[in-house]
Amino acid sequence: MKKIEPEIEPLLVDVPTACRLLSVKKTKMFEMLRPENRTLQRVKLKGKTLVTMESIRAVAAGEVT
């Protein structure tokens, strides 16, 4: 019998995935990631830029402009 595990939602996603989730191009995504805009929160991990799902949800819900 195969064990069924609950699906774990990621806390961080890479930039291409964040672009798809918000339906924006890469240029707009990096504009939203700039510190002076503070629209999206980013994390650098081993040189890779990752975007928090929390901030993506906030933008999608219209909580952040």
Q: What are phi and psi of 12, to 5 degrees?
A: -130, 145
What does pLDDT average to in each consecutive run of 10 residues of the chain (65 residues)?
83 98 96 92 95 97 83
Please tell me the predicted confidence (pLDDT) of residue 38. Answer: 84
In this structure, what token pair is assigned to residue 41?
């929160």
Please give the model's pTM, rounded to 2 decimal places: 0.84
pLDDT the model gives residue 65: 65
